[in-house]
C-alpha cells in the first residue's frame, strides 16, 4: 500500500513573477489527508482559496492560471510540477500576489526546498486515477496530439518540433518518478529572441531575465539589438553574447532541454486532474492549453 504524503514543515520562496514582474512570497504548508493541492491568495481579506484542479483553469496563454471567487494565481505549472514529481499529495500554497515567482525558470528550487524540509507519510492510502480507457485531445490545425492510455505506472513520451534548427525535433521520456529529480526538475523555460519583444508588447515577461530562461537566437545579433537587450536586462552590452545559438550567461543542461522542460510543464498541468494518474501519455507538441484540456477530459472519468 502507498500512503499519501505532505511536507514536514512550511517553507517560503520569494521573487518576481515571470509575466507581471510583481514580487511575491509563496509559502508551502502541510495539507490535510485527501485535501489535494489548494492555493490561497493571502492578500485578500480572510484569504481566498483555489483548488488546483483543471476545472478552475481560466487562462493558458504563456502559463497556467487558476481562479475562484475573484482571485487568481498564474504561472503555477513549475510549482505544480515539483509537487507532482516529488509525490506530494496534499499541500496548501499561500501566495500574497497574482503570480507564483519564476525563480530560475525551472522546478529546481521548489524541489530543493521540499527535500530540505522533508516529507511526512500520512494515515491514508494514496489515491490514483487508473485509466480504464484511452483518452485523446488533438488540434489538427496545429498538429497537437495528446493521448493517454491505460498503464500500470505513470509514463510520458513527449515530442516537440520547431522550424528553427536550434531546437528542431526533440523527444524526452519519463518512465518513473525517480527520474524527475535529476533529469527534469532543473530544465528551464525557453523562448526565441524574436518572441521576446512581442511578449513585452503584450505587457508580459516583466520578470524575465537571462538567468531564468534559455533565449534562442536564430538570426545574427547586431550592435543595436545588443544595446537594446543590455538596457532591457540591466546588463553591460559586452556581456550580451550568443553561445551555440543561446543568448544566456548560462549553458543548457541537456541537448534536449526544451523537450525536457515541456515534459516538466506537462507534469505540472496534468496534476490538475487532482490526483496522480496511472497511464501512458504520448504527447506531440504539448502546451498548456492542450495539457489542461487533456486533464479536463481525464477528470470526467472520476465521476463516470
Q: Has residue 200 got a pLDDT over 80?
A: no
Of 234 and 207, the structure prediction assigns the larger pLDDT to 234
Residue with cell 528551464: 188
φ/ψ of 19, rounded to 5, equals -95, -45
Residue spans of beta strands (DSSP E) within 42-194: 48-51, 57-59, 65-68, 71-73, 91-95, 119-125, 129-130, 135-139, 144-150, 154-161, 169-174, 190-192
Strands 144-150 and 135-139: antiparallel
Per-residue pLDDT, 205: 57
Half-sphere exposure of 294 (CA within 13 A, CB side): 32
pTM of the model: 0.93
Query: At a CB cut-off of 8 Å and minimum separation 6, what does 154 contact?
Result: 174, 176, 177, 276, 277, 278, 279, 281
For residues 64 and 240, give the distance between their C-alpha atoms in angstroms, rounded to a whole number: 30
- List CB contacts of 77: < 8 A, sequence separation 6 or more: 63, 64, 265, 268, 269, 288
Domains of the chain, by residue range, sit at: 3-127
What is the pLDDT averaged over residues 194-207?
A: 64
Portion of the chain with pLDDT greater than 90, in percent: 74
**Fold for domain 3-127?**
Ribosomal Protein S5; domain 2 (3.30.230)
Is the pLDDT score of 198 beyond 70?
Answer: no
**pLDDT for 59 beyond 90:** yes
Give the C-alpha separation, 124 to 4, whole Å: 6
Encode pLDDT of 10-52 as tens digits. 999 999 998 788 999 999 999 999 999 999 999 999 999 999 9
Q: Is the dihedral of CA 106, 205, 143, 137 positive or negative?
A: positive
How far is 273 from 292, CA to CA, in rounded Å? 9
Q: Percent of the chain at pLDDT above 70?
A: 94
Contacts of 129 (CB under 8 A, 6+ apart): 273, 275, 276, 277, 278, 279, 298, 301, 302
Q: Is the pLDDT of residue 254 over 80?
A: yes
Tell me the pairing of strands 11-16 and 3-7. Answer: unpaired
What is the model's pLDDT at position 214?
85
Whole-number pLDDT of residue 230? 76
- Residues assigned a catalytic role: 288
Q: Which whole-number Å values give the CA distances from 73 to 17, 52, 64, 295, in the listed order?
A: 10, 10, 9, 18
Amino acid at each position: 500500500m502507498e500512503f499519501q504524503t505532505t511536507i514536514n514543515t512550511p517553507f517560503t520562496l520569494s521573487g518576481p513573477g515571470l509575466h507581471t514582474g510583481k514580487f511575491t512570497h509563496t509559502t508551502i504548508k502541510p495539507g490535510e489527508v485527501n485535501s489535494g493541492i489548494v492555493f490561497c491568495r493571502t492578500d485578500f481579506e480572510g484569504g481566498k482559496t483555489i483548488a488546483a484542479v483543471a476545472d478552475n483553469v481560466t487562462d493558458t496563454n504563456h502559463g497556467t492560471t487558476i481562479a475562484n471567487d475573484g482571485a487568481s494565481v498564474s504561472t503555477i505549472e513549475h510549482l505544480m510540477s515539483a509537487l507532482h514529481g516529488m509525490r506530494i499529495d496534499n499541500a496548501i500554497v499561500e501566495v500574497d500576489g497574482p503570480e507564483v515567482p519564476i525563480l530560475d525558470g525551472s522546478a529546481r528550487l521548489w524541489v530543493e526546498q521540499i527535500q530540505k524540509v522533508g516529507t511526512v507519510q500520512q494515515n491514508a492510502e494514496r489515491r490514483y486515477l487508473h485509466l480504464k480507457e484511452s483518452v485523446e485531445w488533438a488540434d489538427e490545425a496545429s498538429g497537437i496530439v495528446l493521448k493517454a492510455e491505460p498503464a500500470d505506472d505513470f509514463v510520458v513520451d513527449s515530442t516537440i518540433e520547431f522550424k528553427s534548427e536550434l531546437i528542431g525535433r526533440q523527444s524526452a521520456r519519463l518512465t518513473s518518478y525517480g527520474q524527475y529529480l535529476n533529469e527534469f526538475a532543473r530544465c528551464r523555460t525557453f523562448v526565441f529572441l524574436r518572441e521576446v519583444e512581442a511578449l513585452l508588447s503584450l505587457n508580459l515577461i516583466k520578470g524575465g531575465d537571462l538567468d531564468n530562461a534559455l533565449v534562442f537566437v536564430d538570426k545574427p545579433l547586431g550592435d543595436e539589438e545588443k544595446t537594446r537587450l543590455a538596457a532591457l536586462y540591466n546588463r553591460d552590452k559586452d556581456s550580451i553574447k550568443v553561445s551555440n545559438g543561446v543568448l544566456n550567461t548560462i549553458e543548457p543542461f541537456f541537448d534536449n532541454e526544451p523537450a525536457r522542460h515541456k515534459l516538466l510543464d506537462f507534469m505540472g498541468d496534468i496534476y490538475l486532474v487532482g490526483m496522480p494518474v496511472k497511464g501512458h501519455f504520448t504527447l506531440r507538441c504539448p502546451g498548456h492549453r492542450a495539457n489542461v484540456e487533456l486533464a479536463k477530459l481525464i477528470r470526467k472519468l472520476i465521476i463516470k
